[in-house]
A and B are shown apart, each in its own frame.
Chain A
Amino acid sequence: MLLRHTTEKEIDRKALTINPAKTCQPVGAMYAALGVHGCLPHSHGSQGCCSYHRSALTRHYKEPVMAATSSFTEGSSVFGGQANLLQAIGTIFSVYDPDIIAVHSTCLSETIGDDLKQIVAKANADGKVPDGKHVIEASTPSYVGSHVTGYHNMLQSIVQHFAIKTDEAKRQVNLLAGWVEPSDMRELKRISKMMGIKTVLVPDTSDVLDAPMTGKFEMYPKGGTTIPELVSMGDSMKTVAIGEWATKGAAIALDNNCKVPFDMLDLPIGVKATDRFIMSLSKAGAVAVPEEIDRERGRLVDMITDMHQYFYGKRVALFGDPDQLLPLCEFLLDLDMVPAYVVSGTPGKTFGKRMKEIFGDKIDQVKFKNGANADMFQLHQWIKQEGVDLLIGNTYGKYIALDEKIPFLRMGFPIVDRVGHSYFPTLGYMGGIRILEKILDLLMQYQDENSPEEKVELVM
Chain B
Amino acid sequence: MSKYIKDRTPQIVTIGEDQHDLACEKKSAAGSVSQRACVFCGSRVVLYPIADALHLVHGPIGCAAYTWDIRGAMSSGPQLHRLSFSTDLREKDVVFGGEKKLYSALTELIESYKPEAVFIYSTCIVGVIGDDVEAVARRLSNETGVDVLPVMSEGFKGTKKDGYKAACDALMKLVGTDDNYLPPKYSINILGDFNLAGELWILAEYYKRIGVEIIACLTGDGRVEQVRKCHKASLNVVQCSGSMMHVAKEMEKKYDIPFKKVSYFGIEDMSDALYEVAQHFNDPELMANARTLVSEEIAKLIPALQPYRQKLEGKKAAIYVGGAFKAISLVKALRLLGMQTVVVGSQTGNKDDYNLLQKICDKGTVIVDDSNPNELSDFVKQTGADLFIGGVKERPIAYKLGLGFCDHNHERKEALAGFVGMLNFAKEVYASVCSPVWKFIQK
Interface set of A (CB-CB < 8 Å, partner B): 1-5, 7, 11, 13-20, 22-27, 40, 42, 45-56, 58-59, 62-74, 76-77, 83-85, 87-92, 94-97, 106-108, 111-112, 141-144, 146, 211, 213-219, 345, 372-373, 377, 396, 399
Bound-complex Cα distance A160 to B116 (A):
53
**B397 and A52: CB pair below 8 A?**
no
**A91 and B5: CB pair below 8 A?**
yes
Give the residue name and chain of the A residue nearest to B36 (CB): A47
Contacts of A217 in B (CB 8 A): 373, 377, 397, 400-401
Interface set of B (CB-CB < 8 Å, partner A): 1-6, 27-41, 59-68, 79-80, 82-91, 93-94, 100-102, 104-105, 108-109, 112-113, 123-125, 127-129, 155-159, 373-374, 377, 392-393, 395-397, 399-402, 440-443
Identify 5 residue pairs between A and B in the complex whose beta-carbon atoms are under 8 Å apart, listed by A's number.
A19-B83, A64-B400, A213-B400, A214-B441, A218-B400
Bound-complex Cα distance A1 to B78 (A):
10
Shortest beta-carbon distance from A26 to chain B in Å: 7
**A45 and B30: CB pair below 8 A?**
no
Bound-complex Cα distance A16 to B85 (A):
7
Please tell me which one of the listed residues A22, A64, A68 contacts residue B65 in the complex, with CB atoms under 8 A apart: A22
**A51 and B84: CB pair below 8 A?**
no
**B65 and A24: CB pair below 8 A?**
yes
**A16 and B87: CB pair below 8 A?**
yes
Contacts of B93 in A (CB 8 A): 143
Shortest beta-carbon distance from A373 to chain B in Å: 8
**B27 and A372: CB pair below 8 A?**
no
Contacts of B443 in A (CB 8 A): 215
With contacts A15-B104, A58-B396, A96-B374 taken as known, whether A144 is within 8 angstroms of B91 at the C-beta atoms is: yes
**A4 and B94: CB pair below 8 A?**
no
Give the residue name and chain of the A residue nearest to B109 (CB): A16
Bound-complex Cα distance A112 to B91 (A):
13
**B29 and A107: CB pair below 8 A?**
no
Shortest beta-carbon distance from B108 to chain A in Å: 6
Give the residue name and chain of the A residue nearest to B104 (CB): A15
Shortest beta-carbon distance from B42 to chain A in Å: 9
Contacts of A87 in B (CB 8 A): 29-31
Q: Given A48-B124, A62-B396, A68-B33, 9 more contacts at CB 8 Å?
A: A15-B104, A20-B64, A63-B396, A66-B373, A70-B31, A91-B29, A96-B33, A144-B91, A219-B373
Please tell me which one of the listed residues A22, A55, A76 contacts residue B393 in the complex, with CB atoms under 8 A apart: A55
Bound-complex Cα distance A76 to B158 (A):
12
Bound-complex Cα distance A107 to B156 (A):
12
Contacts of A95 in B (CB 8 A): 1-5, 31-32, 374
Shortest beta-carbon distance from B45 to chain A in Å: 12
- List the 6 shortest-distance A-B pairs measured between CB atoms, nearest first: A48-B38, A24-B62, A88-B31, A91-B31, A17-B88, A52-B66
Give the residue name and chain of the B residue nearest to A66 (CB): B33
Shortest beta-carbon distance from A292 to chain B in Å: 33
Bound-complex Cα distance A23 to B64 (A):
9
**A213 and B399: CB pair below 8 A?**
yes
**A67 and B33: CB pair below 8 A?**
yes
**B90 and A143: CB pair below 8 A?**
yes
**A51 and B64: CB pair below 8 A?**
no
Shortest beta-carbon distance from B64 to chain A in Å: 6
Bound-complex Cα distance A20 to B61 (A):
7
With contacts A20-B88, A111-B129 taken as known, whether A74 is within 8 angstroms of B156 at the C-beta atoms is: yes
Among B31, B32, B66, max chain A CB count under 10 A is at B31
**A20 and B68: CB pair below 8 A?**
yes
Among A15, A70, A214, max chain B CB count under 10 A is at A15
Among A45, A62, A215, max chain B CB count under 10 A is at A215
Contacts of B395 in A (CB 8 A): 58, 62
Give the residue name and chain of the B residue nearest to A87 (CB): B30
**B113 and A46: CB pair below 8 A?**
no
Contacts of A377 in B (CB 8 A): 83
Bound-complex Cα distance A40 to B373 (A):
13
Please tell me which one of the listed residues A52, A112, A141 contacts residue B37 in the complex, with CB atoms under 8 A apart: A52
With contacts A17-B64, A91-B32 taken as known, whether A11 is within 8 angstroms of B108 at the C-beta atoms is: yes
With contacts A16-B105, A23-B62 taken as known, whether A108 is within 8 angstroms of B156 at the C-beta atoms is: yes
Please tell me which one of the listed residues B32, B41, B94, B112 contacts residue A71 in the complex, with CB atoms under 8 A apart: B32
Among B79, B155, B159, max chain A CB count under 10 A is at B155
**A77 and B83: CB pair below 8 A?**
no
**A5 and B79: CB pair below 8 A?**
yes
Bound-complex Cα distance A217 to B84 (A):
35
**B41 and A48: CB pair below 8 A?**
yes
**B30 and A88: CB pair below 8 A?**
yes
Bound-complex Cα distance A374 to B84 (A):
14
**B392 and A77: CB pair below 8 A?**
no
**B1 and A97: CB pair below 8 A?**
yes
**A107 and B60: CB pair below 8 A?**
yes
Bound-complex Cα distance A214 to B402 (A):
8
Contacts of A47 in B (CB 8 A): 28, 34, 36-38, 155, 159
Contacts of B85 in A (CB 8 A): 16-18
Shortest beta-carbon distance from A42 to chain B in Å: 8
Bound-complex Cα distance A72 to B112 (A):
38
Among A11, A59, A85, A217, max chain B CB count under 10 A is at A217
**A15 and B105: CB pair below 8 A?**
yes
Bound-complex Cα distance A3 to B6 (A):
49
Among A77, A143, A219, max chain B CB count under 10 A is at A143
With contacts A52-B62, A90-B31 taken as known, whether A372 is within 8 angstroms of B90 at the C-beta atoms is: yes
Shortest beta-carbon distance from B230 to chain A in Å: 25
**B3 and A64: CB pair below 8 A?**
no
**A3 and B30: CB pair below 8 A?**
no
**B1 and A215: CB pair below 8 A?**
no
Contacts of B89 in A (CB 8 A): 143
Shortest beta-carbon distance from B75 to chain A in Å: 10
Please tell me which one of the listed residues A4, A11, A55, A85 contacts residue B79 in the complex, with CB atoms under 8 A apart: A4
With contacts A51-B393, A217-B400 taken as known, whether A15 is within 8 angstroms of B108 at the C-beta atoms is: yes
**A23 and B80: CB pair below 8 A?**
no
**B84 and A20: CB pair below 8 A?**
yes
Bound-complex Cα distance A112 to B124 (A):
11
With contacts A46-B38, A91-B5 taken as known, whether A15 is within 8 angstroms of B101 at the C-beta atoms is: yes
**A56 and B66: CB pair below 8 A?**
yes
Bound-complex Cα distance A143 to B123 (A):
13
Contacts of A25 in B (CB 8 A): 62
Contacts of A58 in B (CB 8 A): 392-393, 395-396
Shortest beta-carbon distance from B6 to chain A in Å: 8
Contacts of B27 in A (CB 8 A): 71, 73
Shortest beta-carbon distance from B99 to chain A in Å: 11
**B104 and A14: CB pair below 8 A?**
yes
Bound-complex Cα distance A172 to B127 (A):
50
Contacts of A146 in B (CB 8 A): 61
Give the residue name and chain of the A residue nearest to B35 (CB): A51
Bound-complex Cα distance A372 to B108 (A):
17
Shortest beta-carbon distance from A15 to chain B in Å: 4
Contacts of B64 in A (CB 8 A): 17, 20
**B38 and A49: CB pair below 8 A?**
yes
Shortest beta-carbon distance from A404 to chain B in Å: 15
Please tell me which one of the listed residues A71, A108, A141 contacts residue B29 in the complex, with CB atoms under 8 A apart: A71
Contacts of A22 in B (CB 8 A): 61, 65
Contacts of A63 in B (CB 8 A): 396, 400
**B155 and A49: CB pair below 8 A?**
yes
**A73 and B156: CB pair below 8 A?**
yes
Contacts of B4 in A (CB 8 A): 95
**B392 and A68: CB pair below 8 A?**
no
Bound-complex Cα distance A72 to B82 (A):
30
Contacts of B36 in A (CB 8 A): 47, 51
Bound-complex Cα distance A271 to B155 (A):
46
Please tell me which one of the listed residues A2, A73, A108, A144 contacts residue B128 in the complex, with CB atoms under 8 A apart: A108
**A143 and B65: CB pair below 8 A?**
no
Shortest beta-carbon distance from A210 to chain B in Å: 12
**B87 and A15: CB pair below 8 A?**
yes
Contacts of A215 in B (CB 8 A): 400-402, 441-443
